[in-house]
Amino acid sequence: MIKVADLNKSFDGFQALNSLNVNIKKGSIYGLVGTNGAGKTTLIKHVTGVLKPDSGSIMIEDSPIYENLDVKVRMGYIPDDLYFFAPYNIRESSKFYRDLYPTWNEERFQNMIRQFALDDKRKLSKFSKGMQKQAAFILTMCTMPDYLVLDEPIDGLDPIIRKLVWKYVVEDVAEREMTVLVSSHNLREMEGICDSIGILNQGKMMIERDLDELKSDIHKIQVAFKDGISDPYEGLSVLHHESRGTVDLLIVRNKKEVVEEQIMKHHPLVFDLLPLSLEEIFIYELGGGDNEFQGILF
C-alpha cells in the first residue's frame, strides 16, 4: 500500500501540493488525473522519493520512501521526460539495470524485445520519443517491480503498442499483485484499466474513489415535466443545468435511487438517466461544463 498523508510542497512561494492525502491499495491500479499544473508530476516525484516534502509523509508498506534504497529497489518509475545514456543501445542498458536490480528477469527481457520489435543495436538516443517510451517500459518491467509509477506512459504510442503496454501492466497486477500509480491525460484508456481514481486540482485532492463507485454517484439526466412544477430538483446536488426547449439537461451528483425517487414523484413526461464517462466526470467536477466544454456531452 502507498499512503500519502498531509503532504505539502512549495517552490519559491508557490504551493504546489496542499495538505494532500492519497491512498493506493496493494495490487490495484490507481489513476491520477488533473489539469495541467495540478501537481500530478510533483506528487509522483514525492512518491518515487525524488523530492523531499516540506511536511507530511509518504509511506510504502509503513516505510518512508525518501532515501530508502530497500523500497526504491522494488519500484519501477517511468517519467514523462526520459533519460538514457547517450552511447547505449537497449541491450547495453539492460546490463546496467541488471546490476542495479536483483530481481531482473532476463527471459522476460528477451521476449519483450521480440514483441515490441525494437532495434536492439540502435542507440537509444536515436530512437523516436515513442520508441524511447517502449524501451523504458521494457527495461522497467523486466526489473519485476512490486510498485510501478507511470507518468504519461502511453503518450506518443500507437494503439497496438498501447494495448501491449497495458497487457503487461494488468497481467502483473493480477499475477504478482503489483501496485500501480499512473498519471495520464488519456482518460478513456484510464477508465478501462484503473480500479481507483484521484482527481487533483491546484495541489489538492478533490475526489478519491473506486472508479465504479465514482461513476455510480454522478449522472446526466434529460427530463421534461408538465407546466407548473416549481422546483422538481429540490434536494439534488446539481453540478450543471441547462434547458433546451421543454427539456432540461442536468448533471447531478447523487445515488441513482435518490435521483429516480426525486424525479419520478413529479411524474415526468420524459426521463432518461445515464452514467457519465470518466472524461465527463472530470470535466464537470472541475467546472468545465460552464465554459468551452459545454454542449459536448449531450
- Rounded percentage of the chain residues whose pLDDT exceeds 70: 96
DSSP 3-state percent helix, strand, coil across the chain (nearest 5): 35, 30, 35
- pLDDT, one tens digit per residue, over 106-133 is 999 999 999 999 999 999 999 998 999 9
**pLDDT, average across residues 267-294:** 77
Burial (CB count <10 Å: 0-12, 13-18, 19+), residue 211? buried
- Rounded percentage of the chain residues whose pLDDT exceeds 90: 74
All domains in the chain, ordered by first residue: 2-210 (3.40.50.300), 217-290 (3.30.70)
Closest CA to 269 of 218, 232, 239, 240: 232
- Reported as a pLDDT band with limits 50, 70 and 90, residue 235 is very high
Q: What is the crossing angle of helices 106-116 and 159-176, to 10°?
A: 160
pLDDT surpasses 60 at 5: yes
